[in-house]
Amino acid sequence: MSQLDNLFIQVRALLQSESVMLWEEPYYSEDLGSIEGALENLAQKYSEIVGVDMNRCKFILTELQENALRKLAARREFSSTGMATFKVRRIDKHSGATMVEVKCSLDILGSELQADIAKKLELPNAEHVKCIAAGKIVNAHSTLADQQLKNNQQLIVIVGDGDNPGEALYERINRIKADVQAVVSSKNGLIEMEDQNGSQVYLPPSEHKALLMGLGFCEKARAAMHREHFEEALLLLLEADAYFSGCDSKFLESVDNYALLNLDIVWCYLCLKNVTQIPDAERRLACCSRSFRISYGENFERLYSLKGKNCPERALIMRLQLLQGVVFFHQNRRDEAFERFEAANNLLKELKINGDQLALLVEMGFEASEARMALRSCKGGNDVERAVQFIQERRQQLKDARKKYKTTERAMERRLKRSNSKDCTWVNPRSVCSLTEMGYENGLATIALQRSKNDILKAVELLQTEADELNAVSPRAPVTIDAMKLAQLLQLGFYEKDSRVALENASNNIEEAIESLMCAIESEEELKTILEHVSRMAKPGDQNLDGPSTSTASGQAQTTLPSPIIEAVLNHARSEIETYKAYDRFNSDLKLSDMEYLDLPLIQEEKVLTEYFNMLRQ
């Protein structure tokens, strides 16, 4: 931020505080235009207040006057013709910002606005233009009016950065979107949601998918931020924001994820030097602060009581206070900005770690991120020894939680996914596990939880007081397995035991049984084995190939499989293999640390803090 920007903020605030209207007399006349004498007198007055040369102050007043007159003319034009004016800022962190003005009707589609902007910026492909208005990506398929765009609104346009032309960025974003969609939509559960302690987080299916999509985009955005590709990161974060909006607002405000999303978006605004988004930044920081209060308690007392005063979450608090100070500064609320900067600076001093100790832990074989957070969490005494203990305890905690999930809850979760595949009633797998550990039968526990809307105490009460009624509606007796369909599943290469269970659950519907069996496959290698086996079967004369399970004692005669069944297995296997490839691409640039989002080196934050402190002192 330049000194001139600082002066603009102060002069604009003086005009607002004194209700000075530069587009009216005595500063401007419709007949005479700008009135120099009145502007010079005002410049003389303000230059003494701000402490700047009078000519420079007059230049600032003239610029503000011309900007106000342009807005007034645009307002009149919109009123008479319906043509809205947008001030469009193209972001490019290497070559700076490019400002253009675009006029169009609010009734046009977002794609038409993209085309107008592309023409103004002399870009060959309008699809590569990503336009952002009030913190949202403009939808190409909706009208500007439906998206609540307004006349005289300032827009951001992201096309690409200096190292990556717009086409590359456009293709990269589309590939990431496709990969995240494929990974999240996979029925094999390639990614799962867990809390900081490694325990699984369960939500109703629709919200669960929306949140996983949002978190997927957040992970890729954080990787882009790590590379300082803030244009790409901002686009991915706004995509995540759109998915988060599909979740219950009370839930979003009670978890860290949505707070971090808003914090990261504002951080990208700052790194891209985009002060035009101050209103959206203020809204997002307020949301982040509210979420932190709910999660961490007022003044973070709940967080500190659970994790101690040296918890690594302080890095997030420091960044929040810094960004709040930046917003206050640009609103010319300088005293409030100074208070936030002071608080951020005090936290920054506490969060600094000894570089030699960090290097020593890395030499011991620990990741730099976990070493940095361990040192921040173990201030005082022998920091290195305590940090090693912290890392080891943290690793064991995660290992225990994930082991419990894999041995008990995951099997239950998969069973419930199959049984609820055509039922909108969602049951928390963890609650079913808890009830079965108490000695209740799975089917009865499931019904009780459905009726109690996953309230485990009410479910126990139902099981104790209404057991007869629950038994009356409990799952039906096992069906008799169709021998021919069982033989067909064995020919496809599935194991007999699994095939029997699948047919029983699907009431002998072979298509549903196949889908259930395919969804139970948990490795790419097993998928490839099935694909290879069934591909051979698809060749003429190869229907009698033995699969891995046909050597069992089933005694079933082999039959000719219908082509649609073979094609269904092949299509499913190929689709899931592509999903595994998408998963590999998704993980290609992600850090392995589960607490990576807390690993802020705080180098950039310190530079920003120093810059704004200097501005306040000018």
Give the model confidence (pLDDT) of 18-32 as tens digits.
999 999 999 999 988
pLDDT, average across residues 60-85: 96
366 and 432 both lie in a single domain: no
339 pLDDT above the threshold of 90 = yes
- Assess if residue 618 is contained within a domain: no
Angle, CA 229 vertex, CA 224 and CA 231 arms, to 5°: 105
- Assess if residue 6 is contained within a domain: yes
234 and 314 both lie in a single domain: yes
426 pLDDT above the threshold of 80 = no
Q: Which two tokens stand for residue 331?
A: 């609103």
- Final residue belonging to a domain, choices 47, 79, 111: 79
Indicate the number of domains in the chain. 5
- Assess if residue 282 is contained within a domain: yes
Banded pLDDT at 187 (limits 50, 70, 90): low
Residue the block writes with tokens 């609104």: 153
Task: Give residue 418's pLDDT.
Answer: 41
325 and 186 both lie in a single domain: yes
- Assess if residue 551 is contained within a domain: yes
Task: Give the range of the structural domain holding residue 233, as residue numbers without chain letter.
Answer: 179-396
- Assess if residue 450 is contained within a domain: yes
Distance CA 362, CA 360 (A): 5
60 and 89 both lie in a single domain: no
495 pLDDT above the threshold of 50 = yes
Task: Give residue 552's pLDDT.
Answer: 42
- Assess if residue 325 is contained within a domain: yes
- Assess if residue 457 is contained within a domain: yes
248 pLDDT above the threshold of 80 = no
469 pLDDT above the threshold of 60 = yes
Residues facing residue 105 across a β-bridge: 83
Encoded amino acid at 349, one letter: K
Count helices and strands (H / E) in the chain: 27, 7
495 and 564 both lie in a single domain: yes
Task: Give residue 470's pLDDT.
Answer: 84
pTM: 0.80
Residues facing residue 558 across a β-bridge: none
Q: Which two tokens stand for residue 434?
A: 């808890």
Give the model confidence (pLDDT) of 212-242 as tens digits.
899 899 999 999 998 889 999 999 999 999 9
Distance CA 108, CA 105 (A): 6
390 and 443 both lie in a single domain: no
- Final residue belonging to a domain, choices 159, 192, 217: 159
Distance CA 15, CA 269 (A): 26
Residue 128, domain CATH:
3.10.20.90
240 and 354 both lie in a single domain: yes
**Contact in structure between 519 and 551 (CB atoms under 8 Å):** no
261 and 353 both lie in a single domain: yes
606 pLDDT above the threshold of 50 = yes
68 and 93 both lie in a single domain: no
Banded pLDDT at 276 (limits 50, 70, 90): confident
- Assess if residue 374 is contained within a domain: yes
439 and 502 both lie in a single domain: no
Banded pLDDT at 394 (limits 50, 70, 90): confident
List of residues 6+ apart from 199 with CB closer than 8 A: 401, 405
Banded pLDDT at 414 (limits 50, 70, 90): very low
Residue 303, domain CATH:
1.25.40.10
Angle, CA 546 vertex, CA 542 and CA 551 arms, to 5°: 160
546 pLDDT above the threshold of 50 = no
Residue 438, domain CATH:
1.10.8
- Final residue belonging to a domain, choices 79, 102, 134: 79
363 and 245 both lie in a single domain: yes
330 and 228 both lie in a single domain: yes
Banded pLDDT at 553 (limits 50, 70, 90): very low
Distance, first Cα to last Cα, the chain: 13
Task: Give residue 155's pLDDT.
Answer: 94
Q: Which two tokens stand for residue 200?
A: 């699984």
